[in-house]
Amino acid sequence: MAIIDGFAALFGTWQPVFFAITGTLLGLMAGAIPGLSASTTIALLVPVTFYLDPLSAMALLYTVSKSADFAGSIPAILFNTPGTPQATATAIEGYPLTQQGKQGKAMKMAVLASAQGDICSELLLIFGASYMASYAAKLGPPEYVAIYFCAFIVIGSVLGDSVLKGLLATLFGLLLSQIGYDAITGRERFVFGVDYLYEGLSLVPVLLGLLVLSEVFVQALDRVAVRQDQAIAKESGNPADRRLSWAEYRRCLPVIYRSTGIGTAIGMLPGLGATIACFVAYGEARRVSKSDQWGKGEIEGIAAAEAANNATSGANLIPLLTLGIPGSTSAALLAGVMVIHGISVGPAVFVTSHDLIYGLFAAGLVCILTYLVVGYFGSGLLGRAIALVPARMVYPFIFVTCFVAAYAIRQTLFDMVLMVIFGIVGYLMKRVDLSIPAFIIAFLLGHGFEASIRQTMLLDESGALIFLERPIALVFFAVGFLTIAARVVQLRRVRSRQRNAPAA
């Protein structure tokens, strides 16, 4: 079996498994610190991957993302302060349990549901992605033009509260991806005589600026009150309140299975993400439940949100590995590191880098086991440790680390200046609600989109009419237009309800 080859690659030397476990522990800490997301942590670690072998580099970033998805539930349950956006759904039922002294029960349910949802999604990735990729490999340039177009439309229209702003962010990313020399003609584009721009904008300073430095600016400029040290509510003296009984776990199993399916399905769709999956799964669990404890500490709510949350983790890689389209910001950053290490992104990766990809899947399984053990027995301790670290200490450290990381790759001041510019750009994008994930995904896919268009135009002298001869391409174009139309209708209905709602 291919996954056996993956474990052989992972454990062939000490480095890949070491960085898989290290990434898991870093992700646990990153997810547990409110405001420090998985994407921010991964962006900080991208410069480190330049000095690692490809499998170690990919395993480090992938495991950070997976464990951070779970770890966001720790402050959500203990302090009602979600460490990640998707953990907001977990806090609805988790924090009331903490107020009742049942935080031990809530945390154990969270980690078990997360691990179960995660492993089901990972198994789908292991045994299903290669088959999907075999069909995707048969697609030609016209189909890929349509797929890229569909991805840009879906990601641009779904991410954020405004379709126009999402599409503008996508177009901005596509525009900046064209900086550098033309790969076909060799001509300069938007270089303006700056030697450092001949090969395009350097990925690391752009990511550090948009994802990390911009968040430091937000914390420094927009948040007047710095988070103070928090205290966990006193735990119940009843041993039954500190553990999860078999009867409680068995009652949650149908919820976990249903939410895992919801999270996996949503995770496979580019742009939707874990936050949507969590709230959809939570809402569905609440709809079918007969319990009257919802909103007061219903443990099924934690199971639903966390199973859906981590079920998106493995599923997010399916569009990346089968079509070359990242399903999330974390997947986009992983794609960037794969490109840096010379690994093709798309269906061919299962042929050209077979052992590396299945080694990455094996690292995902090791990550799940690691955070399951650490989370089950040590999440409370981790929460107490995080509570003692105020934000005023975290963000200055991150600020300095940004400059060290930006300088370390090429040892140029230009990269540091570029990072600051994109830090300001990222801050302004957040202020006006332009989607940074949409920008990053478009920036990373811009070259592939351009190459597919040019190849398509060379295939036939009919120009754009070639798409009329390609049914699969037409389907993807139709999906893109239908998605944007549905999103516009949805937003209009939401605004209409808000206008018609009675004033409080």
| pLDDT tens for the chain, residues 1 to 504 | 788 888 898 898 899 999 999 999 998 888 877 666 777 788 888 888 888 999 999 999 999 988 888 888 888 888 777 666 677 788 888 888 888 888 888 888 888 999 998 998 888 888 888 887 777 777 788 888 888 888 788 777 766 667 788 888 889 988 988 888 776 676 778 887 777 787 788 888 888 888 888 878 887 776 544 444 455 556 656 666 667 788 888 888 898 998 998 888 887 776 566 677 787 888 888 887 777 777 778 888 888 888 888 888 888 888 888 877 777 778 888 888 888 888 877 777 888 888 889 999 999 999 999 999 988 887 767 766 766 666 667 777 778 888 888 887 777 888 888 989 999 998 998 888 888 888 888 888 888 888 888 888 877 777 677 777 788 888 888 888 887 787 777 777 767 776 666 544
Please give the residue range of the domain that contains residue 340: 2-500
The pLDDT assigned to 226 comes to: 42
Contacts of residue 287, Cβ cutoff 8 Å, sequence gap at least 6: none
Question: Residue 20: what pLDDT?
Answer: 93
The answer to whether 310 touches 70, Cβ cutoff 8 Å, is yes
Query: DSSP class of residue 271?
Result: T
| pLDDT value for 363 | 92
- Is the Cα torsion angle 66, 71, 77, 82 positive or negative in sign? negative
Q: Which of 76, 51, 62 has the alpha carbon at shortest distance from 26?
A: 62
Residue 104 near residue 243 (C-beta atoms within 8 A): yes
Spatial neighbors of 387 by CB under 8 A, at least 6 apart, are 78, 79, 229, 230, 231, 232
Tell me how many degrees the CA angle 256-320-169 measures, rounded to the nearest 5.
100
3-class SS at 180? strand
Continuous segment of H or E residues that includes residue 395 = helix 391-410
Q: Using DSSP, state whether 181 is helix, strand or coil.
A: strand
The percentage of the chain sitting over the pLDDT mark of 70, rounded to a whole number, equals 87
**To 10 degrees, the CA torsion angle through 258, 263, 269, 271?**
150
Buried b (16+ CB within 10 A) or exposed e, 91-125: bbbbbbbbebbbbbbbbbbbbbbbbbbbbbbbebb
pLDDT for 387 equals 63
Residue with tokens 């930006």: 406
Host H or E run for residue 188: strand 188-189
Q: In total, how many domains does the chain have?
A: 1
| C-alpha distances out from residue 76 to 188, 388, 393, Å | 50, 16, 21
Structure tokens, 148:
């890229």
Please give the pLDDT value at position 334. Answer: 85
Tokens, residue 208: 């550090």
Structure-block tokens of residue 7: 């474990």
Q: What residue has token string 């480095």? A: 15
Distance between first and last Cα of the chain: 61
**Rg value, the chain, Cα:** 23
> What was the pLDDT predicted at 391?
61
Strands 180-181 and 188-189, how do they pair? antiparallel
Q: Which residues touch 76 (CB under 8 Å, ≥6 apart)?
A: 82, 83, 87, 88, 90, 91, 94, 95
Contact (Cβ atoms closer than 8 angstroms) between residue 20 and residue 60: yes
Angle subtended at Cα 232 by Cα 231 and Cα 234, rounded to the nearest 5 degrees: 120
How many degrees, rounded to 5, is the angle at CA 345 between CA 41 and CA 117?
55
Q: How many CB atoms lie within 10 A of CB 52?
A: 18
Cα 491 to Cα 114, 269, 488, distances in angstroms = 31, 20, 5
Tell me what pLDDT residue 228 has: 43
